[in-house]
Structure 1
Amino acid sequence: MSFVKIFASLLLLASPFVLANPVSLNPSPPLSPEQIQQPYPEVSITRLHSAKELIAAFDTHDYRLKVVKQSNMLPSYFVENLPSDLNELPVSQKTSAFIRLLLPTIKAVNRDILQIRDELQTLSAKPKSQWSEAERLWLQSLADTYAVKSGAIAELLLHIDVIPAGMVLAQGIDESGWGTSYFAITGNNLYGEHLPHNGGKFLTTPGGHVKVAAFDNLYQSTASYMHNLNTTLAYKELRQLRQQLRLQKKLTGDELVQSLLHYSTRGQAYVDNLRALIKRHHLDDFDSAKLTESDSIRYRFARRAKG
């Protein structure tokens, strides 16, 4: 195994925020979100048994979408997995509950991506002759993770960027049926991801003809989906459009979904439906909301057997 790969492996074993022996970069080099093994705050877990209990908990803490829009502040209330009974709620409650339970996770994954972008931009401002060995190895590990052969920071920044919350919510809604599909409930797969070529946990369709990726929690599912968009050749146009929209200060879900023609066999009809969801439920309104850093809560529903 090469020294670069050994270093990358050591990164995977480190804390998501602090390396055991930090060198040069400040703060220590952040991991790509899909590599973080324990992404949640170290707080006690509140165990719930139904969607109604989750709604009651949100309401008790005054976590309401109207409040988020007015304040642009989003509480760090992380729901690790889905309740099995969202479909039993009235439509208005189901839609509000799904958006509220997923939004902090989306913001957390995007926050972790932005930490990497910030480090890359800081590194790019330094002459290469002043880069430490740790910085060079971290840069190479990112290039490997994001399939950027050149290893150039400018190319990495094209790949390592956020996905607007409105677009993530819309795809999660469409692909999981508002969090009610079998694969979403049983495998935390909200975005219709198939099993990647390098393997991993999976569920199968009836008859076992298709393997669908399964995840331990909603953070890992969301991080994997974003990594797919940020690395796969099929979404090269998405990354180029995102860069353009960022420069124009127009990076929104409504704008970026036009690049998802290849995400579904439904093509343009899929894109049109995502745009309709974004507009109908005002999903782009949450892009500017900031995740709070205090008073975190973790919610977890009883585990369900994975088929």
Structure 2
Amino acid sequence: MARLDQITSLTRTDLIMLGALVLSISASALAPGVRNSSESMVYALPAQPVDTLSTSQVDITEVSNIASEILPSSEVESRSYPSTLPDFSAINDVRTKKQMFFSYMLPKIRQANDKILANRRLLMMIRDDLTIGDALDEDDIQFVSSLKARYKIRQQTSLRSTVDDLLIRVDVVPESLVLAQAANESGWGTSRFARQANNLFGVWCFSKGCGLTPKNRDEGLNHEVAKYESVQAGIIAYVHTINTNPAYIDLRYIRATTRSEEQHFSGHALAEGLLKYSSRGIDYVREIQQLIRVNDLQKYTLPLQA
């Protein structure tokens, strides 16, 4: 996916076709045969034990809507997932290990964000048309409808309100924040779940066989750690979690406010919206922020776009 500064010369029709292509590729690459039911949902790491939560607190989206390469649960046990991660555990020098981890993850994070930025730019053009009273063509309306379904906007509102709601969700997650959470949750890419499931963000699932069973799972709990066919699929799923899960509405509000004030994106600031990502609450937030500071991760966050 080209960066936005490389596609500014495209026409409106070109951009609509590009956005449609992004959506169609995402849809066609989704796991074939995944059941579109509550049995196949993926959940973010809850802030409390699972048995104390209602579905509405942690429901993100059906598997088929959040990742581009997730297999149906019936195939998980029958297929082997060769990890594409380098063997970070073999690197003894801590500084070298960190730098290699960031270098490996960064282009994958930017690829996921670039797809979102392409759709966001189209949404902004549509919003501008609505603002001046121009009628939308059928392609525009279908594009908004597709994004509305993907980003789980259920309320029935005007087209302009729907676009405004989408612009809060269809947005990037700063590289600094993604890097910090990936490092924290995966032990710098060395955890069992990172190596065997391509899951660097601690995302859970709840249908039998949907992932790996935690070795120390408390009795009576049934969650597994979601399994992805590639690291890229895991990143896509994580970003979509941040952009759609009700638990992270505060993060999205901070991000939207940053945009409205034309400030530079800060993973450190957005981390304040992760209180419900972990049962550790504010201690987890402070740990992520410390990771960003100590490793100077803000330098990896690109200037604000779209």
TM-score bracket, shorter-length normalisation: 0.5 to 0.7
Distance in 2 (alpha carbons) for counterparts of 1:154 and 1:112: 19
Q: Which amino acid aligns with 1:202?
A: G
CA 1:85/1:274 → structure 2, altered by over 3 Å: closer, same or farther?
closer
Q: 1:79-127, CA deviations, whole angstroms, 9 ceiling, x for partnerless residues?
A: x821245354321111111011000111111111100100111122224
Distance in 2 (alpha carbons) for counterparts of 1:136 and 1:218: 33
Indicate the residue corresponding to 2:16 in structure 1. Answer: 25
Structure with the larger helix share: 2
Indicate the residue corresponding to 2:164 in structure 1. Answer: 154
Indicate the residue corresponding to 2:194 in structure 1. Answer: 184
Q: Which amino acid aligns with 2:201?
A: Y
Q: Which amino acid aligns with 2:188?
A: W
The answer to whether the 8 A contact 1:23-1:134 is kept is no
The answer to whether the 8 A contact 2:15-2:122 is kept is no
Q: Which amino acid aligns with 1:229?
A: I
Moved over 4 A (4+): 32-36
| 1:241 is the counterpart of 2:254 | yes
Q: Which amino acid aligns with 2:145?
A: Q
TM-score by length of structure 1 reads 0.67
Q: Where does 1:204-215 land on structure 2 (aligned, <5 Å)? A: 204-206=213-215, 209-215=222-228
Indicate the residue corresponding to 1:287 in structure 2. Answer: 301
What stretches of structure 1 of length at least 5 have no aligned partner? Answer: 1-21, 39-79, 291-307
The answer to whether the 8 A contact 1:116-1:160 is kept is yes
CA 1:87/1:81 → structure 2, altered by over 3 Å: closer, same or farther?
same
The answer to whether the 8 A contact 2:210-2:224 is kept is no
What stretches of structure 2 of length at least 5 have no aligned partner? Answer: 1-12, 31-82
Distance in 1 (alpha carbons) for counterparts of 2:266 and 2:84: 26
Q: Where does 1:1-307 land on structure 2 (aligned, <5 Å)? A: 25-29=16-20, 30-31=22-23, 35=27, 37=29, 81-127=84-130, 130-149=135-154, 150=157, 152-195=162-205, 201-206=210-215, 209-248=222-261, 249-288=263-302
- The higher relative CO (CA closer than 8 Å, separation ≥ 6) is in 1
Please report how far the alpha carbon of residue 245 of structure 1 lies from its aligned counterpart in structure 2 after TM superposition. Answer: 1.5
Distance in 2 (alpha carbons) for counterparts of 1:285 and 1:24: 30
Q: Which amino acid aligns with 2:289?
A: R
Task: Count the aligned residue pairs.
Answer: 227
Please report how far the alpha carbon of residue 187 of structure 1 lies from its aligned counterpart in structure 2 after TM superposition. Answer: 0.9
Distance in 1 (alpha carbons) for counterparts of 2:172 and 2:190: 26
Distance in 2 (alpha carbons) for counterparts of 1:24 and 1:235: 29
Distance in 2 (alpha carbons) for counterparts of 1:230 and 1:133: 26
Distance in 1 (alpha carbons) for counterparts of 2:167 and 2:25: 15
Distance in 2 (alpha carbons) for counterparts of 1:196 and 1:118: 35
Please report how far the alpha carbon of residue 200 of structure 1 lies from its aligned counterpart in structure 2 after TM superposition. Answer: 8.6
Distance in 1 (alpha carbons) for counterparts of 2:24 and 2:241: 12
Q: Please, which moves more after superposition, 259-268 or 24-33? A: 24-33
The answer to whether the 8 A contact 2:176-2:292 is kept is yes
When the two chains are superposed, the root-mean-square deviation of aligned CA atoms in Å is 2.8
CA 1:289/1:28 → structure 2, altered by over 3 Å: closer, same or farther?
closer
TM-score by length of structure 2 reads 0.67
Distance in 2 (alpha carbons) for counterparts of 1:170 and 1:34: 26
SS in 1 for 2:225: strand
CA 1:246/1:196 → structure 2, altered by over 3 Å: closer, same or farther?
farther
The answer to whether the 8 A contact 1:113-1:161 is kept is yes
